[in-house]
Amino acid sequence: MKILIADAMSGEAVEILKSKGLSVDVKTDLKKEELAAIIGEYDALIVRSATKVTRDIIAKADKLKVIGRAGIGVDNVDVEAATEKGIVVMNTPQGNALAAAEHTLALMFAVARKIALADATMKQGKWEKKLLMGVEVYDKTLGVIGIGNIGMIVAEKAVALGMKVIAYDLFVAREVAAAKGIELVDLDTLLAKSDFIAVHVPMVKETKNLIEKNALAKTKKGVVILNVARGGIVNEQDLYDALMSGQVSGAGLDVFEQEPPPKDYPLVLSDKVVCTPHLGASTKEAQGKVAIDIANQIVDFALNGVIKNSVNAPPVSIEILRQLSPYLTLSERLGKFIAQVTDFAIVEVEIEYLGAISEVETKILTQGIMRSILSAQLDGINYVNAPIVAKTRGIRIKEIKEKDHDDYTSLLGIRLIGEKAQNVAYGTLLGKKQPRLVKVNKISVDADLTENMLFLYTHDKPGIIGGLGTALAKKSINIGAMYFGRESLGGLSMSLLDVDAHIGDDLLVELRAMANVIDVKRLNLT
């Protein structure tokens, strides 16, 4: 196997690969055109965060079998394009969690005590002691949005500092959080009560601009915003405006929507902001560990055909993966669907395998389902750790298997159960390959599960279809297909639209305000 390392990596990681007889080229700082020109020669590619593995690059990677990301985030890799081409994408979800958590706390202290400004003025020969009054973090409230690997470490260490910690996360059982001294709340409560807010969710369409002007308006006046997750989760213009108005007193930012940000960027130049150039994972310990981890995973893949910590393939041999492929697609898309239409905390996931699907390797399907569900809120979830993460968060997993079904050759059901509510969706395969949604709760439907979809619960009244068509037409959004179902005449109705473009926040607000609309969800099932 011929391997290209496109970003700086520890010598120990390179030696691990070479010691197993693998051919390794280290070529860093390649321009996009340079990478595209040579990628066709390689079987494996290893990157950190600097190299962007785009769809165009992947299109030229005719021999590529695996992409290894030394780190947790894979937003610099077009996972969808890799999956379409049968390329496994691996990451190292645990290696840099502590480093990122410590960096969050470092920024919190730096903002609270005005460390950066104090240092800068001292270097200018000034002694601004009276102007640099800080605040203590003890007895303050820290709101953590997303308590996955990194967010949980931040929360635990903040508790140890004597802070009150509240968190918003749909995939942690209340008793599990309470055992660690964390109170689970809804997002609006977190915004209103927090003195400091730390963002630790993945960057997906649902979390882009999660913290924007409307959210900031709900915060306590003088709140501090911390982002060591991904740029774009916090709307930078809205944050700057809130800093200028005094609604936000300070911010600690390690990530930006454009990296590096533009020169003379007002947010970076603000005295109220402490900025670092994406250093969350930049410790010697973290970088060494993730490099060694990805090297060992590539070795295992090359020599034994074992897939570990993949974000798009289960930990099985390539041959078994081919056999399971249609069922994996169904299970993962159905898992994403039910997770994205659910907005209550989950305590149990019940999975029904009915008919022929009950006779395949359902353990792997269950891992894929849990990965899809948990990834809606958490970063770094893969096939291996998904069941473990669910268990640590107090989420029970139950499987039901029956070899026969009266209506379908294979039927998969996923039920998400909360303390006071539940949602269930059923799906099957059309022609043994195409995932198909056939039922949501009590409503029967016959719908493709595609990339961009719009889901609505409405009252079964005239005018819904016309209103939807008009609203989407105003935004020049074409409808590829429309699917409908209802519980009963005049009762609860469901609409599912396959749309050709992303649904913006403004359109969601407009649709939710329409007569007889109960709820609207924007779905991405890839």
Domain boundaries, the chain: 1-94+284-311, 97-275, 314-441, 450-526
How many CB atoms neighbour CB 188 within 10 A? 11
Amino acid at 192: A
Q: Is 307 helix (H, G, I), strand (E, B) or coil?
A: coil
Q: What is the pLDDT of residues 112-140, one digit of tens each?
A: 999 999 999 999 999 999 899 999 999 99
Q: Which two tokens stand for residue 474?
A: 């105003």
What is the per-residue pLDDT across 87-102, written as a single tens digit (0 to 9) for each? 889 998 878 889 999 9
Summarize the confidence of residues 292-312 as an average pLDDT: 88
Q: Which of 230, 371, 393, 436 is flagged as catalytic? A: 230
Rounded to the nearest 5 percent, the helix, strand and coil shares of the chain are 35, 25, 40
| Higher pLDDT, residue 321 or 2 | 2
Q: Which CATH class is domain 314-441?
A: alpha beta
Percent with pLDDT over 90 in the chain: 64
Q: Are 26 and 47 in contact (CB under 8 A)?
A: no
Mean pLDDT of 161-169: 96
Which residue from 286, 298, 338, 272 is spatially nearest to 114, judged by alpha carbons? 272
* Cis peptide leading into residue 202 (ω within 30°): no
> Across the chain, what does the average pLDDT equal?
91
- Mean pLDDT, range 307-315, rounded to an integer: 78
pLDDT category at 319 given cuts 50, 70, 90 is low
Backbone angles phi, psi at 521, to 5 degrees: -125, 140
Higher pLDDT residue, 232 or 311?
A: 232
Say yes or no to pLDDT of 85 above 90: no
Question: Residue 189 above 90 pLDDT?
Answer: yes
Q: Which helix (H) or strand (E) holds 227?
A: strand 223-227
For residue 230, indicate whether it is catalytic.
yes
Which amino acid is present at 232? G
Is 12 in the active site? no
Structure-model confidence comparison of residues 84 and 512, the more confident one = 512
Residue range 53-64: mean pLDDT, rounded: 95
Query: Stretch 358-382: mean pLDDT, rounded?
Result: 84
**pLDDT: which is higher, 345 or 182:** 182
Question: Is the predicted pLDDT of residue 353 greater than 80, yes or no?
Answer: yes
Sign of the C-alpha dihedral computed for residues 167, 397, 208 and 523 taken in this order: negative
- Which parts of 418-525 are beta strand (E)? 422-430, 434-440, 443-448, 452-459, 479-486, 492-499, 517-524
The domain 450-526 is placed in CATH, from the list 3.50.50.60, 3.30.70.260, 3.90.1150.10, 3.40.190.10, at 3.30.70.260
Task: Verify whether residue 512 is a known catalytic residue.
Answer: no
Bridge partners, 225 (sequence order): 197, 251
**Per-residue model confidence as pLDDT tens digits over 201-225:** 888 777 889 999 999 999 999 999 9
Apex CA 434: angle with CA 429 and CA 436, to 5°?
Answer: 60
**This prediction's pTM:** 0.68
- Whether 1-94+284-311 and 97-275 share one fold: the answer is yes
Supply the pLDDT for residue 316.
62
Place of tokens 């970076």: 268
What's the gap between Cα 478 and its chain centre?
27
Residues in the chain: 526
Q: Which range among 186-195, 222-231, 398-407 shows the weakest confidence by mean pLDDT?
A: 398-407
Distance between CA atoms of residues 301 and 295, nearest Å: 10
CA distance 350 to 433: 24
Tell me the backbone φ, ψ of residue 196, rounded to 5 degrees.
-130, 140
C-beta separation of 364 from 316 below 8 A: yes
Q: What are 139-156's pLDDT values in tens digits?
A: 999 999 999 889 999 999
How many Cβ atoms from other residues are within 10 Å of residue 331's Cβ?
28
Kindly tell me if the per-residue pLDDT of 247 is higher than 80: yes
The catalytic residue among 259, 285, 359, 402 is 259
Yes or no: say if 28 and 5 are a contact pair by the CB < 8 Å rule. yes
**pLDDT score at 315:** 62
Pairing between strand 196-199 and 182-184? unpaired
Contacts for 21 with CB less than 8 Å, ≥ 6 apart: none
Q: Quick check: 35 and 60 in contact, CB under 8 A? A: no
The answer for residues whose C-beta is within 8 angstroms of residue 515's C-beta and 6 or more apart is: 461, 463, 467
Which among 198, 147, 156, 157 is positioned nearest to 180, based on CA atoms?
A: 156
State yes or no: pLDDT of 195 exceeds 80: yes
User: What CATH number should be reported for the domain whose range is 97-275?
Assistant: 3.40.50.720
Q: Answer whether residue 312 shows pLDDT above 90.
A: no
| Sign of the dihedral defined by the CA atoms of residues 475, 479, 483, 484, in that order | positive
The crossing angle, in degrees rounded to 10, of helices 97-112 and 284-304 is: 160
Is the pLDDT at 347 greater than 80? The verdict is: yes
What average pLDDT does range 461-476 have in this prediction? Answer: 90
Residue 321 has pLDDT above 70, yes or no: no
What's the start-to-end Cα distance of the chain, in Å? Answer: 29
Give Cβ neighbours of residue 465 (< 8 Å, ≥ 6 apart): 482, 484, 495
Instruction: Report d(CA 506, CA 522) in Å as an integer.
Output: 12
Is the pLDDT at 483 greater than 70? The verdict is: yes
Min mean pLDDT across 71-75, 194-198, 507-511, 519-523 is at 71-75
Q: Which pLDDT value is given to residue 445? A: 93
The one catalytic residue among 103, 278, 333, 371: 278
Look up residue 379 and give its two tokens: 């970063």
Helix (H, G, I), strand (E, B) or coil at 310: strand
Per CATH, domain 1-94+284-311 is 3.40.50.720: yes
Assign 356 a pLDDT band (cuts: 50, 70, 90): confident
Q: Cα separations (Å) of 74 from 70, 205, 339, 377?
A: 9, 14, 21, 15
**Burial tier of 287 (Cβ tally within 10 Å: 0-12, 13-18, 19+):** buried
What are the tokens at 517?
A: 């609309």
Task: Look at strands 164-168 and 182-184 and give their pairing.
Answer: parallel
In angstroms, the CA 75 to CA 51 distance is 11
Query: Across the strands, what pairs with 484?
Result: 495
